[in-house]
Structure 1
Amino acid sequence: MNKTVVSDFILLAFYDLHQLQHLLFFVFLFTYVICIVGNISIIFLVNSESSLHTPMYFFISVFSALDIMFVTVTVPKLLCNLAVANNMISFGGCITQMYVFTSLGVTECYLLAVMVFDRHLAINNPLRYLTIMNHVFCTVLAIFPWIIGFGIILIPTIFTAHLEFCGPNIIDHFFCDFAPLQKLTCSDPFASSVSTSASAVFNIVVPFLIIVGLYSHIIKTISKIRSDEGKQKAFSTCTSHLIVASLFYGTAMVVYVKPNGTNYDKYLAFMYTAFTPMINPFIYTLRNRDVKKVFKTNLKQLYCKQ
């Protein structure tokens, strides 16, 4: 008996909230625009202000660029789905979206680890910090997460792309992801599921443990500082990153570090695919004295010119 090969998939997105489709469109559009504008503002500030030309802000600007790409892989298609009910995506488009989105997610995991390594070095070895974190080394550290992300995710992507899809083509999600696709296959998804779970553990749990270990050492070092002002100054450089990392890992680990997806994954996915990238610029602005100072200076200059 010949099996029909699926050439397209249907993304259900938030079909169960069909009465709120128009409201959801404006909510997601607002989220997307704020995310893009906020992260572009961070990049512009870091590149235009000489006082922010430091390793920490270099990594923040790279992280902002990554966030822009991260949301752009999924949200525009979701907006199209909500606006004109264009919920079809080709097989090739689905696999590509899944690969790029997951690769960028892994890149973000390791970039967060790189950023805490930078803070660890600054607090524990301040005298040699600028010598070690020179331009070349910073560039290498910034590129490394991208190589890991786009390299390792090739394995589960290839396994999933070679699965047989011959029956239902409806994906209960707003973008193509491993677990929803694996549910639709009419062949044995064992190899794909195992490679996906192993990849999730390696790409989420490992950098998370690195972050926890480095922060434990940072806290231990800060606790030895005698003055309260010194402690506050040292810890203030880490709080923004700590909040961002907690928000991202909190939802990502729930969704990916388990063998099978659930019906609630798409709601959790919205948290780390759109909401967290949207608020990241505000976290770095509101929790960072240097960035707030630059913002105030620019606003004063703009006001004086008027």
Structure 2
Amino acid sequence: MPLSNITAFTPSVLTLIGIPGLESVQCWIGIPFCAMYIIAMIGNVLLLVVIKLERSLHEPMYIFLGMLGATDIALASCIMPKMLGIFWFHLHDIYFDSCLLQMCLIHGFQCVESGILLAMALDRYVAICYPLRHSTIFTHKLVSQVGALVIVRAAIFVFPGPLLIKYRFQFYYTTVIAHSYCEHMAVVKLAAGDISVNKIYGLLVAFSVTIFDLTFITLSYVQIFITVFCLPEKEARSKAFGTCIAHICVFLQFYILGFFSFFTHRFGSHIPPYIHILFSSIYMLVPPFLNPLVYGVKTKQIRVYVVKMCCP
């Protein structure tokens, strides 16, 4: 890259393109995105209200579900207002520090969500494999400590990312980000300098969090299924499976879409940019959109209380 094309010093403003190659139809893409965002907000707020008001839902599983709903609200709200501003009102500019803050919040809330999914899996493992000990193990104090731990873990892993960008680089090839939001590698690739440290950091964080959480989630459900298959009563097996199906659906959509976004951004040079960015944007909305629908349909206690609220 010629030196004349390098921007001296840290830029004050960056430009988000949106979805490269689909600029002419972004206004139409924004319509389903906005609809999903509204449904996600309504669904998760309703979920939080139900869990708050119904005392029978003040149990670890539902408290973790409330944490998941609050995280989904925060994650979607970090992205969608700016994204819709790009799609509909051509508000492409974002302050450099605001971009780093958005990046930190997005990856932080993703890390928190992964930690909560792990906590939910461990809760189901204890509830099904050791039902008599569940209430003594998963106390409200432990649930609070787990919630604090996943937040602290996210802060420790994610906070260095913006600092490594802000204080390692002073020159940039461009101020244009070929993305619809500030993602770590999308911002790092703007820098004129050795980005290997930042790439290693990103890979280390992603694999440390994901592999750790997925390993224990998988082990938990292997033990759960072994226990369920050994139950003598068909009704008990069906009830246990019904409880786990909603969790498994949420785990699969979160991690499968997450792996696709992660690997295509780093190794998918043959994939058209608009496909990668479009799926990355959808990935940010799918968990907040689907989680309250999946749990609302599959969890009888929530479904019954929502019906009572809507049809008194």
Moved more, 268-277 or 177-186: 268-277
Give the equivalent residue in structure 2 for 1:93: 98
Query: Match of 1:208, SS?
Result: helix
Identity of aligned residues (%): 23
Give the equivalent residue in structure 1 for 2:83: 78
Q: Over residues 85-107 of structure 1, what are the superposed CA-to-partner deviations in whole Å (9 max), with x where a residue is unaligned?
A: 01011111111111111011111
- On the 8 A contact 2:173/2:191 being kept in 1, the answer is yes
Q: Over residues 115-137 of structure 1, what are the superposed CA-to-partner deviations in whole Å (9 max), with x where a residue is unaligned?
A: 10111110111111112211111
- On the 8 A contact 1:43/1:65 being kept in 2, the answer is yes
Q: Tell me if 1:59 matches 2:59.
A: no
- On the 8 A contact 1:71/1:274 being kept in 2, the answer is yes
Give the equivalent residue in structure 1 for 2:134: 129
Unaligned runs of 5+ in 2: none
Give the equivalent residue in structure 1 for 2:8: 4
Give the Cα–Cα distance (whole angstroms) in 1 for the partners of residues 197 and 84 of structure 2.
33
1:21 Cα offset (Å): 2.5
Q: Tell me if 1:223 matches 2:229.
A: yes
Correspondence for 2:308 among 262, 284, 297: 297
Q: Over residues 164-220 of structure 1, what are the superposed CA-to-partner deviations in whole Å (9 max), with x where a residue is unaligned?
A: 342211111111111111221111001111011111100112111111111111111
Supply the AA of the counterpart residue of 1:229: E
Query: Match of 1:176, SS?
Result: coil
Query: Match of 2:18, SS?
Result: coil
Correspondence for 2:119 among 108, 111, 114: 114
Give the equivalent residue in structure 1 for 2:178: 172
Give the equivalent residue in structure 1 for 2:152: 147
Unaligned runs of 5+ in 1: 302-306
- On the 8 A contact 2:128/2:224 being kept in 1, the answer is yes
Q: 1:157 to 1:261 in 2, by over 3 A?
A: farther
Give the equivalent residue in structure 2 for 1:268: 279
Higher relative contact order (CA 8 A, sep 6+): 2
Query: Match of 2:22, SS?
Result: helix
Give the equivalent residue in structure 2 for 1:304: none
Moved more, 285-294 or 100-109: 285-294
RMSD over aligned CA atoms reads 1.7
- On the 8 A contact 2:177/2:187 being kept in 1, the answer is yes
- On the 8 A contact 1:46/1:58 being kept in 2, the answer is yes
Give the Cα–Cα distance (whole angstroms) in 2 for the partners of residues 257 and 144 of structure 1.
27
1:259 Cα offset (Å): 7.8
Q: 1:259 to 1:74 in 2, by over 3 A?
A: closer
- On the 8 A contact 1:197/1:256 being kept in 2, the answer is no
TM-score (norm. length: structure 1) = 0.93
Give the equivalent residue in structure 1 for 2:164: 159
TM-score (norm. length: structure 2) = 0.91
